[in-house]
Structure 1
């Protein structure tokens, strides 16, 4: 029997696997946080599906999303990235990855980890929603507004409130699985238990 998933999932097994294994599962790893910051920023003005298909290229191009390495990128490295057809070749987006790596390292110095910093915006545990249709899901919330404002203050780029809300959904800070989705409620709890195992 076919599983009922959230309405935004298309028929591509890659997309279904992302929905089933990652989306909405709480993240507690700074490498993963940096990966999602880069990818969500790259998504601006595009679809998540477009970015997801390029994810492996991004992983290779950006040193497996190591913020220490990306923070050290110079102008020559940025030009090299802009000639890489496997990623989205937008100068501002590529530069923002380097800027955000440096900003993330400063957050780590202040809070011990980026994870400790960002979970404060939802009080340390996921916000559980109960949406019956995609039209009910907000593009931004008071929490994403606050996160966006604080990230911008710290020098992060491509972190508008809508991007921040998508980040919060993807990393389990907000659980927005539709009520008819097989991962709603019980399934999500099961996934959360295994979030650390997958990193």
Structure 2
């Protein structure tokens, strides 16, 4: 009997990335929605993720946190889904998956929060500047259907989510390369299913 999969998430969170990945692997799973300031900080959940944030994944007795790690883990745990290249061909896969999780996430979050780096401190921040990050991301997707090689992968789930949200909320400029890449991602059946499921779980207006 296969180990059970449980996704701990909130529909208004980065857990939507993990939900998309869950739909891509095509395995049965359960969802435990957690509330901000409530069950997220319960002793029971802190035993799963001491950070008290979502998403987290339980696979049998194993726990994985952090979206990029969840995506990479699921791609390896369910190779039949074809969501990771062969080990010898994973350079771009690892490169762009973790670039999206590191520099892209940090630069966009800092910009959205209004954090301004002191003059000359770009190298200390690790990502240089938002402009440099966006230029690099643009080269990763320009003229491509997929970000790493010739097939869809977990790297597209993560990078695609970042680009999709960035275009939606205006934190990533609508450059042709970004728009074209996201147009190819947002019609994937697994993404559509994941979005519909999370949208249906959104809090209803009072």
TM over 0.5: no
Shorter-chain-normalised TM-score: which range?
Answer: 0.3 to 0.5
For normalisation by structure 2, the TM-score amounts to 0.34
- Richer in strand (by share): 2
- Richer in helix (by share): 1
RCO higher in 1 or 2 (8 Å CA, sep ≥ 6)?
1
For normalisation by structure 1, the TM-score amounts to 0.34
